[in-house]
Amino acid sequence: MIYLFLIFISTLFLYISTLSNTVYGGDAGDLVSAVLAKGFSHPPGYPLYTIFGRLFLNLPTNILTPAGKVTLISTFSTIFALILTYSILHILFGKKLNKTIALITVLILSVNYLIWLYAIVPEVFPLNTFIILFILFNSLKFRRTGKNIWLCLLFFSLTIGISHHHTYILIIPSVVVLIWNQLHKLRLTISKVFFLLLSFGIGLIPLIYLPITASQHPEIIWGKANTFSGFIGLLTRQAYGTFVPGFFISNSPIHRFIQLTNIHFFILSDFTLIGYFMIIVGIIIIIRSKLLDKKEKTAVFLALFLFGPFFFFYANFPLRDKFDLATVERFMLVFYFLLAIPYYFGLQWFFSKLTQLIKHLVRKPILFITVALLLLFIMPIGLMIKNYRRLILLKKTQIAEKLGRDVLKTVQPNSIVLLSGDTLLFNTQYVFYSNKKNYKDKIVIQASKITVDYYQKSLKSNYSKLIFSKKNSYGVGDFITNNVKNFTIYSNDKYSLPSNFPYKWIVQGLLFRLVPRDYNNTLEVEKTIQIFWNTAENKNLANYYLINRNHWLNYFPNDILRIYATGHQNTAYYYLSTNQPKLAFPHIKQAIVLNPEDLDSLFLQSVYYAKTNDCAQAEKSIIQALEKNKDKLYLFQLDQLNQCYKDEANKQRIQNLIKKYSDQPLKKLINQ
């Protein structure tokens, strides 16, 4: 019991002291916003998480923000998952368990970068991990004892999983392997059946939250859960594909095998080379060991396979950028916790070999063996020091929350804000719903759902002045047309407008504003742009990025850099189009620093140099872009350098470069 207490106290102190107390990026803003708006987040809706969130939101403390309170779900889920990990090791090994080695194993797990990260930010995966380990724990207890109480808890934990995250079903094959023989021995009575059905039913109760909430039309809603088909569609993630991130995944076999190599690199990075070695050794020992029977070995390896190689091979996540990697890494949590079993075996093997060596070298080895055991605590301490530097920055900064405030700061009263893209939308939603009294004259709308009937009903219910027309093919453009006379409309996308539509988009920081087509007040536009960038809460983001590179090793915040880079690009484009290249140049440089992989910044840089008659630099910039992507826009800009160079030799050289980077005539390419 003392070891469980040590795990609880040490990890509670560690996680609370580094808790981010804000939204981190990714889905965090959507999850917390759903709690604040009394709705439910993206499929499968996470009713259990949302119910817990609403409970934690009522905690009587002003120290924690709404995001911080909801993050406590992650914190306590992780702590109890660590306690369950130790308990599972205790069940598997009984009296043969080396409790100190098991404690060290769990402590190493607790300061693992990925596990620590998701213990201090709002996310659904720590709770999912706890549920899966609870299922495994109950299966082992029932297997070892045959007692009905553990079977009831197993039924409860299996059904509570339905109320949270669909990936829990990957543990079911291991459960079947563990309890199959015990089920054959079980003598069912009326009372046993009653309690099993009761346990099953209690686990399903959180699901009721979805249809009840959907019928109330909350502002954050992701499905028509008050109908049977909508309810099932939400739980099975029909809009995405049940076990894949979306229908946009690649089906290339090579890409699927790359996923397997990523598992290798994740483990090596987060467990270090020593930990990787311990895991490999542990797997070999488990295969050869008689401490676990065949069914327990099968259950362990089946779980490791299904949550590791099988899941990532099947899900086949896109791996285009750091945002994609951030999406992938969350699914490693359960796999990491399961790796504690072979890690324990490997560490125990290492300590036994070390003990044998000490006994061989020293006559009275007890003291030296004790010292050696204590020295093993260096491993979790060293890992903690390494990861602390990266994770403490999440506590000290509010970059994601500042993004939301920057989006809303220049929005006029009586406005609609159409947002798309997870990072921009979710973080802005959090700021909006956590301070709604400050934004009561604004409406934040998820643009991608504007065509869906259940979302339209929700918006009508909460904002009666909004106008929706009944069309078979209703789109964002129709919504804008219906509401532009009653509201000022902003968006982070320049949605296409009809040619005869008497409005146009103008840039305004991170957003575009819809104004009458005859609006020509350039002084007001430029003043608004300058005020935004001079007063933006993340105005020094490029400098912060260069100084605090450790912060950006956390993948999700990197997408915030992309958003500000795009904002700088749009501003630079405005200045270039109004023939003010000197005002454009600082924004181009900021965009390059914030997102060097976006080649459009090099295109803008080339346009700037061409406008200032520095033809050589203009050519150098666009060639840099063309070396990585033979985009027709970049080819067009290269062609424009004919107007920059005055001599025929350089003009001919440009034509030769165009032929080099294009496999068809430029006019044909541009007209495509």
pLDDT over threshold 90, residue 521 = no
Residues 105 and 201 in one domain: yes
Residues 273 and 338 in one domain: yes
Residues 82 and 100 in one domain: yes
- Neighbour order of strands in the sheet with 415-419: 442-446, 415-419, 488-491, 511-516, 503-508
Identify the pLDDT of residue 659.
87
pLDDT over threshold 60, residue 218 = yes
Looking at 598, 614, 643, which one is the last position of a domain? 598
573: CB partners within 8 A, 6+ apart = 507, 584, 604
> In which band, very low, low, confident or very high, does the pLDDT at 361 lie, cut at 50, 70 and 90?
confident
Break the chain down into helix, strand, coil percent, rounded to 5.
Answer: 70, 5, 25
Q: In whole angstroms, what is the distance from residue 556 CA to residue 111 CA?
A: 19
- The number of residues making up the chain comes to 672
Residues 350 and 416 in one domain: no
> In which band, very low, low, confident or very high, does the pLDDT at 188 lie, cut at 50, 70 and 90?
confident
Residues 171 and 217 in one domain: yes
496 found inside a domain: yes
Looking at 323, 358, 391, which one is the last position of a domain? 391
43 found inside a domain: yes
pLDDT in tens, 53-74: 999 999 998 899 999 999 999 9
Q: What is the pTM of this model?
A: 0.91
Please say whether the beta carbons of 613 and 581 come within 8 A: no
Over the chain, what is the mean pLDDT?
90
Identify the pLDDT of residue 243.
59
Cα–Cα distances (Å) from 231 to 50, 201, 357, in that order, read 16, 18, 62
Q: Which two tokens stand for residue 273?
A: 């080379």
* pLDDT over 90 percentage in the chain: 68
DSSP letters along 237-253, please?
Answer: TTTT-TTSS-TT----H
- Find the radius of gyration of the CA atoms of the chain: 29
Number of H helices, E strands in the chain: 33, 5
Q: In whole angstroms, what is the distance from residue 203 CA to residue 192 CA?
A: 17
Q: In whole angstroms, what is the distance from residue 256 CA to residue 316 CA?
A: 5
Q: From its phi and psi, is residue 650 left (phi > 0), alpha (psi between -120 and 50) or beta?
A: alpha
Domains of the chain: total = 2
Looking at 567, 598, 629, which one is the last position of a domain? 598
pLDDT over threshold 80, residue 246 = no
Residues 288 and 409 in one domain: no
Strands (E), 257-374: none
Full domain range(s) for residue 301:
2-391
Q: In whole angstroms, what is the distance from residue 620 CA to residue 603 CA?
A: 10
Residues 411 and 364 in one domain: no
Residues 478 and 576 in one domain: yes
Residues 414 and 384 in one domain: no
Residues 247 and 365 in one domain: yes
